[in-house]
Structure 1
C-alpha cells in the first residue's frame, strides 16, 4: 500500500494574491465537515460531522485538503497557529469509519485510508504552523491518534480520550502507539492501550496527555484563544526553528511506517473482520447510540460477553 500524495484543488479554501504573495483565507471545506474562522495569524478549524464526528470519507477528504493547503511554499502566507475544535459538545473527533476497512477492501477504501496517513504526515511535516487541539468531548480511536500528533492538547469538562482498538483485536496504527508512549510514559501507555482504557480531562492532564484541564468550556476556549494569539505575535522563523528542534522528540517516520505495516495484516484477519462487522451492528452502524457513547467500556463489555469473534 502506498500513501497518496495527490494534487490539492482549492475546494473551499481560497488563495488570493496580495502584493505578489498568496494570502490564505479559509472559508468552508468542500464537504462542509470543517469550518474555519480566521483572526490575524490564527485559524480556528471546527469539526462538524453529526452525530458523532465519525472520521468518515468526507471528514478525511476535508482534513486532507486543509492540511495540504497549510503546507508552506514560496510566496505563500499560512497560519502561524491552527486551533482544532468541535461544534459538537459531546464529541471532539470520533473513530475511523469501520465500514472503510470491512472487506472487500477496494480502491476507494484504500484511497481513504492512505489520505488518513497522509494527514498525519502533513501535521508532522508542517513546522511553520503550531497545531492545538481544543478538546471538549470524546476523542476516540483515530480521533485520539490525530490529536496526539498535534503540538498541544487542552481539555475541557467533557473531554474523554481513548484508543480502544485493542478491544477489536486491532491496534492504534495511525501513530497512536508510538506517540502515546513518549507522551505519557511507556507503562501508562501500555496500561491504556492494552486494556483499552480512557482518560478524562484531569487524568489526562496528570499523565501529560493534555497540557491543561479547564473545568468549563468557556475557560477552555478563552485560554486556548489567548495562547494562540500570543504565539501568533511572534516571527514565523522562530516558530519553525522551535518546531524543527522539538520534532526530534517525535517517533521516527520509519517507526510509524513499521507500525502501519504490522497493522495491515491484522485488519484482514477473518476474526477481526467478523468483530468489526459485529461492532458496526452493536453501535447502530456507528450512530449516536448508547454503545458509541459508552466507548471504550461498551466495546470491552462486548468482549466479556463473548459478542466478538476470538
Structure 2
C-alpha cells in the first residue's frame, strides 16, 4: 500500500511509523487512521519486526488531535459509528497488537493523539511535549478510548480533572502521573526510544506477545487477568523460544530466540 500521510522505516528488528502531516500538526483524519491500521498490520505480520515505534513528523506535534472538519456536522448515529470504527481499526487494534508498540511523543499529543499514544504499550516523551484531552471544550468527550485508558494510567481523579478542565499537562507532570515512562530532550528522543526497543528485541517475541495478552486481560470487563496469565504461562512451555531460553540459561550463554 502506498502511503500519503505516514512514513514507515525498518532498522534491524525495529519498525518506525511516522505520522507525516506536519502542516496539520499530524492531525488524524480518516485516511491517516486507515493508513496507520495497514502499517501496524503489516509490521505485526513481519516476523523480523520485534518492536514498533510510533511518532510524529516535525518538531511541534506527535498528533495534535483529530481532524474536526471531517465530523463537525455528524449526527448521533454517525458520531457513534465514528468512535466504534476508529477504536476497531486503530486504537483497540494497537492496544492488542502482539508486537510491542512504543509511542515516542514529540510535542503536542492532544485528543485523538493522546488516545493513540495511550493505546501504545508504553510511552516516552520529549521534554517539550504537552498532553491533554480537550474534547469537552468542543461539546464532546474523548471517543477513541480516552475515558477508559487515561484513568487506568493516571488514576480516576487525575483523569477526571484532565478531561473536565480540557487542560494540558507538560512532560514532567505526565512523568509524575505515570502517563509516560521516560522524558528526554527532543534531540535525544528517538535514539533513547530505539535503545529501549533494542533491549526488547533481544527477548522472546513469543513470550512478549503472551505477556501483552495477559496484561490486557486484567483491564477488560469479563476477563480474569490471573486466569489468562496461567493460560499464557502454560502455552509458553510449548514454544521453541522457551526451549531455547531455558537451554541458553543452563548453558550460560545468550539465547537466540527463533520467535516461535
Runs (5+) with no aligned partner, structure 2: 224-260
Aligned twin of 1:157: 127
- Secondary structure of 1:96's aligned partner: coil
Runs (5+) with no aligned partner, structure 1: 1-10, 13-29, 255-310
- 1:124 matched to 2:106? The reply is no
- 1:36 matched to 2:5? The reply is no
- 1:234 matched to 2:203? The reply is yes
- Secondary structure of 2:187's aligned partner: helix
Q: Distance in 2 between matches of 1:210 and 1:121?
A: 19
Shift of 1:242: 1.5
TM-score, normalised on structure 1?
0.65
CA shift in 2, pair 1:249/1:205, >3 Å: farther
Aligned twin of 1:168: 138
Alignment of 1:13-52 (within 5 A): 30-31=3-4, 33-51=5-23, 52=25
| Aligned match for 2:71, one of 73, 77, 101 | 101
- Secondary structure of 1:77's aligned partner: coil
Shift of 1:50: 2.6
Equivalent pairs, count = 221
Query: Contact (CA 8 Å) 2:22, 2:57: kept in 1 or not?
Result: no
TM-score, normalised on structure 2?
0.77
Shift of 1:247: 1.1
Q: Distance in 2 between matches of 1:148 and 1:124?
A: 8
Aligned twin of 1:202: 172
CA shift in 2, pair 1:205/1:102, >3 Å: same
Shift of 1:143: 0.7
Q: Distance in 2 between matches of 1:112 and 1:197?
A: 24
Shift of 1:59: 1.3
Alignment of 1:53-202 (within 5 A): 53-72=26-45, 77=47, 79-103=49-73, 115-117=85-87, 118-127=89-98, 129-202=99-172
Alignment RMSD: 2.5
Shift of 1:70: 3.6
CA shift in 2, pair 1:251/1:110, >3 Å: closer
Shift of 1:181: 0.5
Q: Distance in 2 between matches of 1:228 and 1:67?
A: 16
Deviations 1:2-47 (A, max 9, x none): xxxxxxxxx13xxxxxxxxxxxxxxxxx22x111221121111111
Q: Distance in 1 between matches of 2:151 and 2:211?
A: 22
Shift of 1:68: 2.8
Q: Distance in 1 between matches of 2:109 and 2:222?
A: 24
Deviations 1:148-171 (A, max 9, x none): 011111111220001001112211
Aligned twin of 1:272: none
Q: Distance in 2 between matches of 1:114 and 1:189?
A: 22
- Secondary structure of 1:213's aligned partner: strand
Q: Distance in 2 between matches of 1:83 and 1:49?
A: 17
- 1:219 matched to 2:188? The reply is yes
Shift of 1:93: 0.6
